[in-house]
Amino acid sequence: MATRHTRIVERALTRLKLRQLRLLVAVGQHGSIQNAAHDLNISQPAATKMIQDLEVDFEVKLFDRTNRGVVPTVFGESLIRHGKLIFAQVSNAAQELDDLNEGNSGRVVVGTLLAASPSLLPMAIELLLEDRPKVAIKIVEGTNEVLMPGLLSGEIDMVVGRLPSHRHRENITQEKFFDERVLAVVGTQHPLAQRSNVSFEQLKPFGWLLPPVETTLRRQTDQFFVRQDQYTPRTAIESVSYLANRSLLRSHDFVGLMPAHVAALDIDSGLLAPVDWVVPFGAGPVGVSYRGKQSLSPAGSALLKSLHAASGDIECSQPRA
């Protein structure tokens, strides 16, 4: 006797149409069957019938009706997510075929966080280009909150940088490259730039450049500030832009928090200076997140290999405060 899972898979393989999935995703986006039907140029009765057929085939209720339209159930949200992934894979396949037709050796879309931007990812790309000089590479910068949904939906092949601690671990594979410390850094003109054995009391009078509120490092920073008698910086600038942060540190007496190897090049070149204060939080794993090796194209697998090679050189080069 066929199991429920077997029945559903058989129906999906024999009856499911991409047009149904397009409608499903559109209804989720619009919150309205009527608007989704108009968007796809089909009649509302036909759209309603298509949704009903999906519910029969998958044996679940996909949407709840409300006064303001329709809202996906947990089953609807799950199927919408898988539908987006299917369309992303189709788009990726078409793009890869187009790249191959133009003589490129594949395509890879990589998300990067601050911890990977200055050295790890550029070094890995350099290694990749030695092996695949015509590979097409797209780099998307952001925080985990921005990049991980793109990874899960298939728009991004992998995300490189600080590994997410909790919320994004489901349905992804993580590989750790190394653990990294966080440094407090300042401009070379800062009063504490050459001071030894700096205490947090000495840091309090200055303004701070802080990571975005949705990041793990910011949460750890805020928790530390609370433990320091509810300390509030007199000036607090929230920024994920390394170039802006470096410029502000060099023109103002601010204190910034950066992963050690991110600041290494500017410290070595004399543009920034490490504060002689051991940051009591922020250490964490740097690595790569992806949806499993079966999801990677040949170009993606080659970049993963290059990341492993590049990380070995970086692990031993982190500066000490």
- What is the per-residue DSSP string for 47-75? HHHHHHHHHHHHTS--EEEETTEEEE-HH
Phi and psi of 119, rounded to 5°? -135, -50
Contact between residue 119 and residue 261 where contact means Cβ atoms under 8 Å apart: yes
Place of tokens 């149409």: 17
Among residues 268, 120, 103, the alpha carbon closest in space to that of 183 is found at 268
pLDDT of residue 36: 92
Average pLDDT of the chain is 87
Q: Is residue 255 within 8 Å of residue 275, measured between CB atoms?
A: yes
Strand pairing report for 69-72 and 63-66: antiparallel
pLDDT at 80: 92
Output the pLDDT for position 179.
Answer: 87
pTM value?
0.67
What does the pLDDT read at residue 319?
46
The predicted-structure confidence for 118-141, as pLDDT tens digits, reads as follows 788 999 999 999 988 988 899 998
pLDDT of residue 321: 44
Identify the segments of the chain with pLDDT beneath 70. 1-2, 99-104, 115-116, 165-170, 314-321
Count other Cβ atoms within 10 Å, centred on residue 227: 11
Alpha-carbon distance of 27 to 95, in angstroms, equals 26
